Chain A
Amino acid sequence: MRGEDMGGQVLLIEDEPNIIEAIRFILSRDGWQVHTHSNGTDAAQIVRDRAPDVVILDVMLPGRSGYDILRELREDPAHSDLPVLMLTARGQSKDREMAERAGASRFMTKPFSNAEVLDAVRALSAQ
């Protein structure tokens, strides 16, 4: 299923400008509407305001960790099922475990390929 058919909206929470640009480009080209945010502190509020179909959430963010943001979202019944793809730069099993425990729908380690991100976003929005 392609984004344009859904009119899907992705919120990308990531602080690396060039990663943001690349992901934004490939998702937009696939028909997704992409919003980005680079700060951890108010990320949870931005998710509530924007109500995206899929969230891509980096673990290491300025201000607040991705795990904490995700935990806060999951405590809210309105976002308990929100598809969240977590990005981390450490592939250790401990990180995967922490992401799962925090309630991540999917987990991806850097460096990932564009195709992987695209596949993950499509699969998550179809759930």
Chain B
Amino acid sequence: MPRDTLTGSRIRERRVLRGMKQADLARKAGISASYLNLIEHNRRRIGGKLLLSIAEILRVEPAALTEGAGAALISSLREAAADMPQVSAELDRVDEFAGRFPGWAQLLADSRTRVAQLERSLETLNDRMTHDPHLAASLHEMLSTVTAIRSAASILAEPGEVDAEWQARFHRNIYEDSARLAETSRGLVTYLEADETSPLETGAPQEELDAALEKAGHTVPELEAGEDRDAALAKLGRGLSGPARGLLRGWLDRYASDAAALPLDRLRPAVEAHGPDPAALAAALGADPACIMRRLAAMSPEDLPTPVGLAICDSSGVLTYRKPLPDFPMPRFGAACPLWPLYRALSRPHVILAGPVMQVGRSGAVLWADALATPQAGPAVNADPLYQAQMLVRPLPQGAEPPATLPQLGVACRVCPRESCEGRREPSILASVRR
């Protein structure tokens, strides 16, 4: 049996999904609501008869509570079902499906991801056909030349009087135009081939970067040791497309300058003394809090046993960096929950917005977020700065009591069970389960 610490979280997740109140579940299971609350926050172990009866009330396999079918897999399956509502997949039995046929379920989920990737590639190509000025001009040129050739050729080929002088003229035109056509098409082929280096099928460059950083654990030992950026780029950038390598280069440059400004030897003792608190560390180290946030996110598990999460977005709200936590997932693409303090920070630049946060439907773990928006570059003459915002997500600081009521955040609208929310942008795929 794997070590299980999240049974309570799963019970909570299932209960919320069913739209059942904590008190109702407790009453049906014959325990007090406060005891159930402790269980749901993983502060009491649960097993035996009580587990069986809660599983029965929630209508799930007990194993789904103790082992869990993988929240990510379940949510992928739900999204797959939501993509094709006309199929009427048995959403109410999604746990059973994932539990009994984990391999098939994974296959379905992976296929869906692949389909989504390919659809995006197609959109990219479509966009290109419509908006790439070079491609459009080349095609226009080719079609015009083909039209001229066709017109002239059919004048010569079709019945009808054409005197010798005109015949010679059209022959010459066809000859000239065919040479032009050959030239244009050669140019077009060269242009298209030059672009083959970017593997469109792997999806957006940002996703490639996210995957590469995830694999590297968001930390780059070479840069911590003061080594050259190019060595790290060669290692981390292997297999990435050109645009993704470009993003990675930018990320590594910032990493290198962060690491030079705040080396691990200086950061480590300060974190031991103050905890991963950007404001306190900024005061203690005299360093830039935004830089501190990124340095904290780059600390390896040896240096920071309880990892922190970090999200960075640009002024449009698009996430340019994401390091999620198990209790604070972040959307893989698209926009995140608009209630995140990250976005509030954009409207209050230069202020560290700190406070407890919690994601709805999660284990109920209360975390702490520090969000800060700062200009992307230094001051410019008569030009407004572009801001970027960062949000550090870390464990609740010791001594900080979570308030009784806490606004619950989501990951993204599609996978958020909160029905009435002023921030809602699109319907949830979870809400349809409860209806």
A residues bordering B, Cβ < 8 Å? 16, 18-19, 21-23, 25-26, 29, 60, 89-90, 92, 110-115
Contact A112-B140, Cβ < 8 Å, known A18-B173, A18-B177, A22-B155: no
Give 15 pairs: A residue, B residue, CB < 8 Å, sorted on A: A18-B173, A18-B177, A22-B151, A22-B155, A26-B151, A89-B143, A89-B147, A90-B136, A90-B139, A90-B140, A110-B144, A111-B143, A111-B146, A112-B150, A113-B154
A113 to B153, CA, bound (A): 10
CB-defined contacts of B152 to chain A, threshold 8 Å = 18, 21-22
* Chain B contact patch, size range: 20 to 34
- When A and B form their complex, which 6 residue pairs have the shortest distance between CB atoms, in order from nearest? A22-B151, A18-B148, A89-B143, A111-B147, A110-B147, A89-B140
A60 close to B140 (CB less than 8 A): yes
Shortest CB-to-CB span from A73 to chain B, Å, is 23
- In angstroms, Cα B170 to Cα A22, docked, is 8
Q: Which residue of B lies closest to A58 (CB)?
A: B144
Q: Does A112 lie within 8 Å of B166, measured CB to CB?
A: no
Q: Give CA–CA (A115, B130) in the complex, Å.
A: 30
When C-beta atoms are compared, the residue in chain A nearest to B148 turns out to be A18
List A contacts of B154 (CB < 8 A). Answer: 113-115
Which residues of A are found within 8 Å of B145, using beta-carbon distances?
A: 16
Instruction: Tell me if B140 and A22 are in contact (CB < 8 A).
Output: no
Closest to A30 in B: B160
What's the Cα separation between A89 and B145 when bound, in Å? 10
For the complex, what is the distance from the CA of A22 to the CA of B152, rounded to whole Å? Answer: 6
B422 part of interface (Cβ distance < 8 Å)? no
For A112, give its contact among B139, B147, B161, B170 (CB under 8 Å): B147
Q: Which of B130, B144, B147 has the most CB of A within 10 A?
A: B147
Query: Which residues of B in the span 124-154 have a Cβ within 8 Å of any Cβ on A?
Result: 130, 136, 139-140, 143-152, 154
Q: Could you tell me the distance in whole angstroms from the C-beta of A99 to the nearest C-beta in chain B?
A: 15
Residue-wise, chain B 162-181 has the 8 Å CB interface mask toward A (1 for contact) of 00001001100100110000
Q: Which residues of B contact A90 (CB under 8 A)?
A: 136, 139-140, 143
On chain A, the residues within 8 Å of B158 by CB distance are 114
Please give the distance in Å from A5's CB to the nearest CB on chain B.
Answer: 18
> Which A residues are CB-close (under 8 A) to B130?
92
Cα distance, A18 to B176, chains bound together (Å): 9
Of A25, A29, A113, the contact of B150 (CB 8 Å cutoff): A113
CA distance A59 to B160 in the complex (A): 30
Tell me how far the C-beta of A122 lies from the nearest C-beta in chain B, rounded to whole angstroms. Answer: 16
Q: How far is A112 from B161 in the complex, measured between Cα atoms in Å?
A: 21
Complex alpha-carbon distance, A16 and B177, angstroms:
11
CA distance A75 to B169 in the complex (A): 40
A110 touches B146 (CB 8 A): yes
Q: Chain A residues near B166 (CB, 8 Å)? A: 25
Asked if B140 and A25 make an inter-chain contact with CB atoms under 8 angstroms apart, the answer reads no
Q: List, in ascending order, chain A residues with CB within 8 A of B143's CB.
A: 89-90, 110-111
